[in-house]
Amino acid sequence: MSLLRPIICTALLATLLGACKSAQFTGSTKATGSSEPVPAPNADGTTPGVNPGSTSTVASNTPAKTGSDNPVTNTPGDNATPGSGQTPNAPSNGPGPDTTSTPQAIATTPATQTPSGPVCAPGHHALGARLAFLIDNSGSNSTTDCPSRTAQGTTNGHTSYVCGGQTNRESAVLSAFDILAKFATDNSADALGASQLHISSFPSSTDQYAGFVDETSSWVQISGASRGTVADLMKFTRAPVGATPYGAAMTAATNAFKNAPNDGRRNVAILVSDGQPTDRNPAAVLAQANALKQQGVTVIVLDYNGAPETSVADDTKQMQAFEASFSVDPRTGKPNGNHWYTSNYASFGDYISDLLGTSTQPALAQSMTSSGSVISVQNSTALLAALNGLVSTSTVACTP
């Protein structure tokens, strides 16, 4: 889903982010309004084409595929916790139209050269970062970041796709990796100069509404030796599927930072998405983000569907489709007493205000961030430059 006009920042990252306050650096250098192609849950709450099983959070080194064998238990219920694998009961009619139109040609930016990054001034010590990437792999990425896509099948009228080459999300993460690896190499004498990386994707193929996958099972030390592993892991972006559960991303980040040592390195979570969240309980998602911030984690949201002119009505329309698929019995056409939003909201209007914001209330995506702003770039091609700027200014540091 596209981000709202009140929460958009320009892509001039140096101006937006500013220099790292604790650092002394020298010489550093979705189609608008589209619907997520998400099949409606079965009557028992499970995702179509998936066999029930044990867990919705699967540590895997292989790309997720629609209808894969990864098991999940989807327990029906109105108050399903984001990222828990729980999906509410719902009729089988779909939440909205499929994104089946042919996307515009997507320019790719392969990360083939080690970019320049921050350099510590003489007399200062390098301090690496602990960086968690939370990567949106929702179905709308089949139009926003999926070169040479190929249709793989249709479920309940919704077509899934596989990308034919490296995505811009892959290139951007690898370029950021290279900056951090170079920073560690240039400052190898400093014990804490090396950074660590954790990658999670959301949703999962087994829970397309609230699932996530820990692509790295633990923190990866950033070095030349681990680059190939990270490159292989990032290939999950070539099989987009599902909705956009920011809550799942926050659960993944919470798990990743839960046992992180307090060694002075900055803890940063960067959520990379092509649009607005589709969570059932925005209040719970915000509580997760606030808890992370209280623990000292910097939370950043980077949107690559930058369209400040996008109407709030487009995003509201998509969520109305989700609500209709849950609240109307397709057999009778009458209300069934169910809702997409959780029971702490009195009405759809209250829910959508928390999710998408109003003229006086920030949207969920904005409220989640440490800065109070969402960073937006025009499209996925601009992700590489955006992440280069972020890791250079908001992750590693130099201390006297």
Q: Compute CA distances 366 → 6, 94, 246, 282, whole Å.
A: 9, 29, 12, 12
8 Å CB contact between 133 and 200: yes
The predicted pLDDT at position 123 comes to 87
8 Å CB contact between 380 and 106: yes
Q: What is the pLDDT of residues 89-111, one digit of tens each?
A: 333 334 433 343 444 444 544 43
Superfamily of domain 5-399: von Willebrand factor, type A domain (3.40.50.410)
The predicted pLDDT at position 46 comes to 43
Q: Compute CA distances 293 → 71, 254, 266, whole Å.
A: 32, 10, 12
The predicted pLDDT at position 340 comes to 96
Q: At what angle do helices 282-294 and 246-257 cross, to 10 degrees?
A: 30
Q: What is the pLDDT of residues 344-394, one digit of tens each?
A: 999 999 999 999 999 899 999 999 999 999 999 999 999 999 999 999 999
Compute the distance between CA of residue 251 and CA of residue 200 in angstroms, rounded to an integer.
Answer: 10
State the alpha helices, DSSP H only, in the chain.
Answer: 13-17, 141-144, 168-186, 227-233, 246-257, 282-294, 312-327, 348-356, 364-368, 383-394
Helices and strands (H and E) in the chain: how many: 10, 12
The predicted pLDDT at position 121 comes to 85
Q: Compute CA distances 304 → 18, 298, 333, 382, 394, whole Å.
A: 20, 19, 38, 7, 18
Q: Where are the domains of the chain?
A: 5-399
The predicted pLDDT at position 1 comes to 61
The predicted pLDDT at position 156 comes to 73
Tell me how crowded residue 70 is: count the other CB atoms within 10 A of its CB. Answer: 23
What does pTM read for this prediction?
A: 0.77
The predicted pLDDT at position 59 comes to 33
Q: What are phi and psi of 127, to 5 degrees?
A: -130, 110
Question: For residue 15, with 0-12 CB atoms within 10 Å meaning exposed, 13-18 middle and 19 or more buried, which class applies?
Answer: exposed
Compute the distance between CA of residue 399 and CA of residue 56 in angstroms, rounded to an integer.
Answer: 41
Q: DSSP characters for 198-223?
A: EEEEES-SS-TTT-BEESSSSPEE-S
Compute the distance between CA of residue 72 and CA of residue 89 in angstroms, rounded to an integer.
Answer: 16
The predicted pLDDT at position 27 comes to 34
The predicted pLDDT at position 310 comes to 59
Sites in the chain below the pLDDT cut of 70: 1-117, 307-311
